Amino acid sequence: RKEVEQDPGPFNVPEGATVAFNCTYSNSASQSFFWYRQDCRKEPKLLMSVYSSGNEDGRFTAQLNRASQYISLLIRDSKLSDSATYLCVVNMLNTDKLIFGTGTRLQVFP
Amino acid sequence: DAGVTQSPTHLIKTRGQHVTLRCSPISGHKSVSWYQQVLGQGPQFIFQYYEKEERGRGNFPDRFSARQFPNYSSELNVNALLLGDSALYLCASSHPDHSDSYNSPLHFGNGTRLTVT
């Protein structure tokens, strides 16, 4: 079983739609959680950290469910520029090693 | 301020050769990590260095080695290249402080795209 699992997609949605991605992780010792965004042939960039209480940044909302070991990302009012691969990332207690999922590809169309 | 810089941007090597990839972290960042990203997969952790000491190592063979220099720049070396080593190699830096050293966000460079033929 992969340590971090994501649906690879692609998710094809029209502009203005709301889309949600889920991610599950296998190690209950995971401590920190992030969503990174990666554009085609570019480097990953931090989108947002994920906190236990849930957090929001503009159109983006991240949720963490430790009991079920899953993380979600909700994107409201999708823009064409949101088209990218979204990587779910966890790291373990007291390590600097980030574990990435394979990513979920989002394509927003006009 | 300059971001994380990596060189070269692209590289083509043949099986059996060795390669050295270079990374300069963001000014003031003391931690450098290396990741390998094969097409269609997420990045896989290779190494992390902090203050010139190896702080973590992923599940990669001994053909992979790295080091960090006094100016915090880093090199990743891969010997006896295999076709399967073809990937995007990403370097990331972070500036962990004492209070929250394991939650510092990573800043990635543009990567070095290595093709082994």
Q: Which of B53, B63, B57, B50 is nearest to B96 (CA)?
A: B50
The separation between CA A71 and the C-alpha centre of its own chain, rounded to angstroms, equals: 7
The residue-averaged pLDDT of B110-117 equals 97
- The answer to whether A21 and A72 have CB atoms below 8 angstroms apart is yes
**Predicted local confidence at residue A1, as pLDDT:** 74
Q: Which residues of B touch A31 (CB under 8 A)?
A: 102-103
The residue-averaged pLDDT of B1-29 equals 94
β partners of residue A59: none
Measure the CA–CA gap between A60 and A46, rounded to whole angstroms: 13
Q: Is B15 left (phi over 0), alpha (psi -120 to 50) or beta?
A: beta
pLDDT-based confidence at residue B94 (cuts at 50, 70, 90): confident
Contact B45 A42 (CB under 8 A): no
Closest Cα of chain A to B84: distance in Å? 18
The count of C-alpha atoms lying within 13 angstroms of the C-alpha of B15, restricted to the half-sphere facing its C-beta, is 4
Contact A98 B106 (CB under 8 A): yes
Contact A34 B33 (CB under 8 A): no
